[in-house]
Amino acid sequence: MHEWWRSAVIYQVYPRSYQDDDGDGVGDLAGITRRLDYIASLGVDCIWLSPIFASPQADMGYDVSDYLAVDPLFGDLNAFDELIEAAHARGLKVIVDQVLSHSSDQHEWFKESRKDRTNPKADWYVWADPLPDGAPPTNWHSHFGGPAWEFDPGRGQYFLHNFLASQPDLNFHNPDVIDAILETCKFWLDRGLDGFRLDTVNYYFHDQKLRSNPPAQAKPQVMATDLYGMQNNIYNKTRPENLAFLERLRALTDQYEDIMMVGEVGEMGRRSIEIMGEYTAGTDRLHMAYSFAMLGPDFNAEHFRNCIEGFQTGAPDGHPYWSFSNHDVPRQVSRWAEYSVSEDAMARLACAMLMSFEGTIGIYQGEELGQTETELVFEELTDPPAIRYWPAVKGRDGCRTPMVWEKDAANAGFSTGKPWLPVKAPQAAKAVDQQGEGSILAYYTDMIAYRKASPALTHGKTAFISLPEPLLAFTRTSDEQMLTCVFNLSKDTQTIPMSKASAIAVGNAATLKGGKLTLEGNGFAYLT
């Protein structure tokens, strides 16, 4: 079987913000279809679409009210079919975000479930009685602030929600729920979809005994919206039952050709790498997984090495997916600004690092332009946690502002109407029509092409070289080729003695002379 995903570069499209074709200020499927030639020109293999399903949009589509319908904001099933056909004609695969752990409270399933305790779907969501003093059943936290439980006076019970109260958690301990969920997945596979990005893949099951979490063992991480870090989250997520469900889902996808599933592990640090390993072990679970391990503020050689080696150790037969940005975190050029000589230098360094990593690579729309985080004021916000906790939390809107196509066009060519989030001058300055020869866009295109042509980078094994901070170094070796990749993760020039003759195959701010490799700030080299 051709496992196309093993060496793939996947391009994430945030549909609300890619291209608006009908002028309502929100991106749509027709707009994405119109831009497929651009996406194909990057040399990527696959498009990941953030949620497009029917939704009240309380959490920008991550609250699904109908798993079998396209939200009218984005089009309809015909527009979806046209997008799939047009993408396939250009050699592009398409996967879609599947938000299975919870639905919208506007879903018909939940509307029926909350009516009473005896209806046919009464046990399709996680319901529990109050404690004797009326308190929630457990101490579990919601990611968006407050307890993970909401009291429903109709049933006289609490329901579980790991995110907004309007995003109730489905009860995966009920086999009827699993059967219904699998049917919705089959619906999209039958329409030609090439796979799924599984949102919050370790949240499906909860502890049936409803035990409260113990305090965090390590120093707790406390954020204004998110008290998860103050607990050791062993009962509200990453339950052992998750694995059996993933095996059911894999059995479904194996009925089709060339399907791929990538799971989002909602966890940070070493534990996230361990879960990635568990969820991709063998051939009957996920094809690959990613975590937030590389999506945070950490930018040092030890961190990146620990992530990659941790996966190698924890999942020797698994397959990782690495990315530096997505729709939930600040853009990498801004996030790592304190380590950068310039935005341009950081964009090139990040690209070169990502393209050298073993596994599948993910790019978030705008990365290929060197895009930066948009600074917004309160009146411009749409993200629920930001609105609730401003100004302590800036939220996720800053990385979700529209794609910029033409610098001097209205809204940088995104829409003829008022966009749902503003397009500001610093972002418009990086528009596609400003990216000529020698630009970040040209660099991404060249580096993707280089990776795809390199046996060492597409399927070579990784072995790290121990160099002092701020130098990250490793070899990628296949039967046909070996490359030594060295990166300077600082602003200061670094010099490394070379024990044998080498040549720079690809580099930036790098010179090799007299047996020494000199890397200026944010410089790097692939050596042969």
* Selection from 463, 141, 472 nearest residue 298 by Cα: 472
CB atoms within 10 A of CB 342: 14
Residue 431, CA distances (Å) to 40, 237, 336, 371, 426 in order? 18, 41, 21, 9, 10
Torsional sign, CA 327, 328, 334, 340: negative
* Selection from 414, 411, 383, 378 nearest residue 396 by Cα: 383
* 173 SS3 class: coil
Q: What is the distance of C-alpha 380 from the center of its chain?
A: 24
Element containing residue 33 per DSSP (H, E):
helix 29-34
Q: Are 53 and 67 in contact (CB under 8 A)?
A: yes
* Selection from 93, 105, 115 nearest residue 59 by Cα: 105
Dihedral over alpha carbons 176, 107, 148, 272 (to 10 degrees): 70
What does the DSSP assignment read for 507-519? Answer: EEEEEEETTEEEE
User: Which pairing describes strands 516-527 and 504-513: parallel, antiparallel, or unpaired?
Assistant: antiparallel
Q: How far apart are CA 168 and CA 127, in angstroms?
A: 10
Burial of 333 (0-12, 13-18, 19+ CB in 10 A): buried
* 505 SS3 class: strand
Amino acid letter at 212? Answer: S
Amino acid letter at 493? Answer: T
What six digits make up the tokens of 72?
A: 């009218």
Active site residues: 199, 264
- For tokens 């894999």, the residue is 250
